[in-house]
Structure 1
Amino acid sequence: MSDRQQILDTVTRLIEPFNKKGVALAEGITFAGDLEWDSLTVMDFVAAIEDEFDIIITMNMQAEIETVGQLVDAVAKLKDGGNG
């Protein structure tokens, strides 16, 4: 299993408690549109992602991340080059 696939699996697991509408999760799912998350939900979810992967997602990065796949790519990039 690739690192990216492991990140995707973890991200989708972390989304589940916030997935109140029971949306089928895929890389193209949007947080605002498909999942209908408000800003408070986004903040809680970002905190969970940061804790899980031991990374920091900046506000600028958050503004650019609209889909599950984009989040997985951002986490992969941060894990590779971020905190060493």
Structure 2
Amino acid sequence: MASDYNDVLQKLCHHLKQFTGPDAEITPETDLINQLAIDSVKLLNLIMEIEDEFDISVPINALADVQTVHELATLIHQIRTANK
């Protein structure tokens, strides 16, 4: 299960770099809004890419409590696990 989460985290970081640039340092503790400047439009585009990548559907209301890369990766992992 940990390797599955790590896979999600790695792919999520790859997608985030497309929105922030290759020089951005992205760790699980990185704040999406304050450190990466992910606004609502970028977040929706990111979620669409994630949904395509993992063949899942992320409810918009589930994003209200997501602030860090780790929280988003955990949410994606939970949705993937529930859909298996």
TM-score by length of 2: 0.88
Query: Gaps spanning 5+ residues in structure 1: where?
Result: none
Offset from partner CA, 1:5-42 (integer Å, 9 cap, x none): 11111111111110148320000111111111221111
Q: In 2, distance between residues paired with 1:51 and 1:26? A: 23
TM-score by length of 1: 0.88
RMSD: 1.6
Query: Gaps spanning 5+ residues in structure 2: where?
Result: none
The code of the aligned residue for 2:18 comes to P
Identity of aligned residues (%): 23
Offset from partner CA, 1:31-76 (integer Å, 9 cap, x none): 1111112211111111111111111111211111111001111111
Name the one with the larger helix percent: 2
Q: In 2, distance between residues paired with 1:71 and 1:38? A: 14
Show structure 1 runs of 4+ deviating over 6 A.
none
Q: What residue number does 2:64 align with?
A: 63
The code of the aligned residue for 2:10 comes to D
Q: In 2, distance between residues paired with 1:37 and 1:9? A: 18
Map 1:1-80 → 2, pairs under 5 A: 2-20=3-21, 22-80=23-81
Structure 1 contact 31–37 (Cα < 8 Å) conserved: yes
The code of the aligned residue for 1:43 comes to L
